[in-house]
Structure 1
Amino acid sequence: MCPTPLPTTNGHANGHPTEEMVAIDTSAPALPPSLNETSSTPQAPPSVKSHKGLYARPSDFLSNTSNWKIIESTLREGEQFANAFFTLETKIKIARMLDDFGVEYIELTSPAASPESKAHCEAICKLGLKRTKILTHIRCHMDDARLAVETGVDGVDVVIGTSSFLREHSHGKDMTWITKTAIEVIEFVKSKGIEIRFSSEDSFRSELVDLLSIYRTVDKVGVNRVGVADTVGCADPRQVYELVRTLRGVVSCDIETHFHNDTGCAIANAYAAIEAGATHVDTSVLGIGERNGITPLGGLIARMMVADPEYVKSKYNLPMLREIENLVAEAVEIQVPFNNYITGFCAFTHKAGIHAKAILANPSTYEILNPSDFGMTRYVSIGHRLTGWNAVKSRVEQLDLNMTDEQIKDATAKIKELADVRTQSMEDVDMILRIYHKGIHSGDLKVGQSAVLDKLLEQHMPSRDSSPNGKANGVNGNGTPAKRQRIEEGSA
């Protein structure tokens, strides 16, 4: 079991949617004013650099929510994903993209894993990446360390299990042996002039006294970072916060964190660790890794954008996130989840009528992230029974149709009526609006004449299910599926 909460030191406890969409302006800020504001003084816009999150706690003087780094482990932890098999060509593409995105470190599989792993490590080290340092992850063993430093990496990440489970059933060593070997490996790597991190494995099922003792020892030897790893995904944010805060009072070096997502807490745990004083977070693209994987790169970015958007935007090329995720998804033969952070096809899609009205007025009403920051576009779905006339009005304006609010409400009623039979594609909705508009201005149609509109629709849409009495199978007249599409911002 994971331990009970530890004492603290300060006493404080892609793809595209299949539904039809209307793209709307993304220039409006998506971040709301602080919920803590009680003064009548006008609020500063969310883009102001001083914005530090909705629930900032001044007492968290050790918080690093505006000072943290990513160790991107797709090419190490991600290789442990069930579907993963990365060729050197694919690894190089991923590494270059992550470098362009701006991650501070890329972590590679140990060169001791196989001759091919060693060759790949050497090749990636020779790429001459612009801003990203290359690390490799090894066991706490001198043979692994010697191989690692030969590859040309910028740093070595050393790990060994410290929980009773792993000490008994994995490597079989006691804490005395672990400490002695750790010092030997650390001093050897340091002698080569490269970075060194020492991490316990299964940290949250290890004895606190063992953890603090070995962390204090390696800190005195001179590691760049110590690592905390929730190897089985059992920790919760409160436990993470308290352990990292305790550790922050014991070591002077940086603190790296690694969270598995078996119980769905990886992102929350990473954020809690940063709040408590951690400096580095391990991520992988789409969260791929052993079992359910680890903290996803996009999910961490989404969370940290709320804490300090200007800091995140100043460091990372956010519009590249979708491209990176698509590349990795293709490489491991999975789809980007529909509800994926930021890039999922539902991420910035709004459907309910009351939501759509508010979003059209001010996107921050129902969005905490601004899609334009990521090169994305928000959409309002309008071809369904939940649609509202404000959303339809936005589409009418995009199509440059001259219609009154009363007429738009009447046309919306027809769209909702037809959508009770089947969801209407954007092409269907556009044709309904154009036919309605033409009928009104020719004098053939008046507001409230639903039967007349049905006849006009049947006349001009003979190959489509334009009436509630038509076939409700969602196909065109030739038997092929009805066309569905997203309309990009500013298109007609």
Structure 2
Amino acid sequence: MCGDRTVVNGSGATSTEKPAHQRTPYESVGDFLSNTNNFKIIESTLREGEQFANAFFDTETKIKIATALSDFGVEYIELTSPVASQQSRDDCEAICKLGLKAKILTHVRCTMEDAKIACDTGVDGVDLVIGTSSFLREHSHGKDMVAIEKAAIEVINYVKSRGIEVRFSSEDSFRSDLVDLLQLYRAVDRIGVNRVGVADTVGCATPRQVYDLVRTLRGVVSCDIEVHLHNDTGCAIANSHAALEAGATHIDTSVLGIGERNGITSLGGFMARMMVGSRDYVTSRYKLHKIKEIEDMVADAVQIVSEQLVIQSNFGISITSLLVAKLWLLLDWDDSLSTGRDWIRTLDRAPQLSQLEEDVATGRTAGGLVPSLASATATAPQWVDNMPKAAMHFHCAFTHKAGIHAKAILANPSTYEILKPEDYGLHRYVHFASRLTGWNAIKSRVEQLGLTMTDEQIKEVTAKIKQMADLRPIGLDDSDAMIRSYHLELQEA
């Protein structure tokens, strides 16, 4: 019979057996290195996703998202560094105590101080990271490759001594020197790191480049390989698949693809890609029917229109894509519409008014209610007229929120941007007001305000800003007020 095959079992009898699943033309070509049918997901919505321009996750929301992701079937959930703020540490400890099926990881700098705090939270694994490209070595941490390798070995050995899983990742891997990179990975592999990470931090890599680097690395290390791929040029999902074909074992994702700038590989989009060629593997491990529920949950948490971002994220959010932030104002219907129209008129005038351009670039426009505002579009008034709230548009591609990123961007934009915002008629926005804010970003803001403070004083006011940001979302006006108030206290003292 066509499609059947006769086999002989161990007792000598014959039987007719049909394949459990017919091959499709979309399945990957057989390759002994390929892991398209044997991969794990490291879900980073509660780490990378928290760097999304409009993200603020309180403890209850984090627990709901973590529980839903574990139920969906992801193998790992990655959380914001407990060093970022006290609330970040408390949340990390709380999620570790939930007893979820998914392993809990946290992502920290490759320093002993960060590693010790991370291990004390009760996580199952610690993800270490340090920049290895010339851009980041010069403008982020100032270490050469010898110092990086020494620090990596010291910190990895410490985490291992605590009986905790450890991953070591270079940051900006695709703009790093290949020889330096492979030497570093070989060194950490020798001492027993569980995984090494490859990061396309600026979203510059193509599938071919990802395949070549991962395949080369696969011949150098025996440990697992994780990839973290940004979506600045729309290649994140394709790059993730190419990495698996080359021998990667773990893929970083976030729900709706949210994250720093244009985000990373979206969970839903990646699942769609893998369902085409690895259906049996995917359906045996992940509850795909839960995807919509999780996406709606996250969309609501970051105050965006779910349906629009689902479409955009699963097909790649382009540089000029406009996401809609729902700003629920404590105004009645008429006031909301009036406010919204005023904002639209302000934006329409922005190209002609340098002060307004600067307000847009720094996020001061509209009282700091939105992270960044860009020029209005023809559809914007329709949103205002049809929604009982003010709806504004903002660009994410050039928004920087993470503390490490902000420090380097302020020194040299090329550290975390491969494209220039001015080429698109847009503005760069460095987020000065969140629990992820670093003291270097606040130092820059202090200088912009024309104030004088020592580094220690700036670190102290940064801690105050983080404390406030742990309690509620804050804007630039809030952080500026805290900076000015603190400076006044110093003057009076």
2:300 maps to what in 1?
A: 330
2:259 maps to what in 1?
A: 289
| Whole-angstrom distance in 2 between the partners of 1:215 and 1:266 | 23
Unaligned runs of 5+ residues in structure 1 are 1-39, 345-492
1:307 Cα deviation from its structure 2 partner: 1.4
Structure with greater helix percent: 2
Inter-CA distance 47–334: structure 2 relative to 1 (3 Å threshold): farther
* Structure-to-structure mapping, 1:416-455, within 5 angstroms: none
Inter-CA distance 264–337: structure 2 relative to 1 (3 Å threshold): farther
What residue identity is the alignment partner of 1:243? L
Bigger Cα Rg: 1
* Structure-to-structure mapping, 1:391-406, within 5 angstroms: none
1:115 maps to what in 2?
A: 86
| Whole-angstrom distance in 2 between the partners of 1:53 and 1:191 | 47
2:35 maps to what in 1?
A: 64
| Whole-angstrom distance in 2 between the partners of 1:100 and 1:320 | 9
Q: Secondary structure at the match of 1:93?
A: helix
* Structure-to-structure mapping, 1:133-172, within 5 angstroms: 133-172=103-142
Contact 2:168/2:195, CA 8 A, preserved across alignment: yes
Contact 1:74/1:284, CA 8 A, preserved across alignment: yes
Inter-CA distance 309–186: structure 2 relative to 1 (3 Å threshold): same
Q: Secondary structure at the match of 1:197?
A: strand
| Whole-angstrom distance in 2 between the partners of 1:326 and 1:335 | 9
| Whole-angstrom distance in 2 between the partners of 1:278 and 1:73 | 17
Inter-CA distance 74–53: structure 2 relative to 1 (3 Å threshold): farther
1:177 Cα deviation from its structure 2 partner: 0.4
1:141 Cα deviation from its structure 2 partner: 0.3
| Whole-angstrom distance in 2 between the partners of 1:317 and 1:74 | 18
Contact 2:214/2:243, CA 8 A, preserved across alignment: yes
1:57 Cα deviation from its structure 2 partner: 1.8
Inter-CA distance 76–196: structure 2 relative to 1 (3 Å threshold): same
1:336 Cα deviation from its structure 2 partner: 2.4
What residue identity is the alignment partner of 1:299? G
1:263 paired residue among 233, 239, 264: 233
Contact 1:107/1:134, CA 8 A, preserved across alignment: yes
Contact 2:27/2:276, CA 8 A, preserved across alignment: no
- Write out the 4+ residue segments of structure 1 that deviate beyond 4 Å after TM superposition: 40-44, 341-344
- Aligned pair count? 303
1:339 Cα deviation from its structure 2 partner: 7.9
1:180 Cα deviation from its structure 2 partner: 0.3
Q: Secondary structure at the match of 1:340?
A: helix
| Whole-angstrom distance in 2 between the partners of 1:342 and 1:166 | 30
Contact 2:295/2:310, CA 8 A, preserved across alignment: no
| Whole-angstrom distance in 2 between the partners of 1:173 and 1:339 | 39
Give the structure-2-normalised TM-score: 0.59
Identical amino acids, percent of aligned pairs: 70
Contact 1:53/1:308, CA 8 A, preserved across alignment: no
1:54 paired residue among 12, 26, 40: 26
2:53 paired residue among 82, 88, 101: 82
| Whole-angstrom distance in 1 between the partners of 2:311 and 2:217 | 30
Contact 1:52/1:308, CA 8 A, preserved across alignment: no
What residue identity is the alignment partner of 2:278? D
Aligned Cα RMSD in Å?
A: 2.3
2:207 paired residue among 225, 237, 246: 237
Q: Secondary structure at the match of 2:298?
A: helix
Structure having greater relative contact order (Cα 8 Å, sep ≥ 6): 1
2:72 maps to what in 1?
A: 101
Q: Secondary structure at the match of 2:227?
A: strand
1:182 paired residue among 152, 168, 190: 152
Contact 1:108/1:137, CA 8 A, preserved across alignment: yes
Contact 1:163/1:205, CA 8 A, preserved across alignment: yes
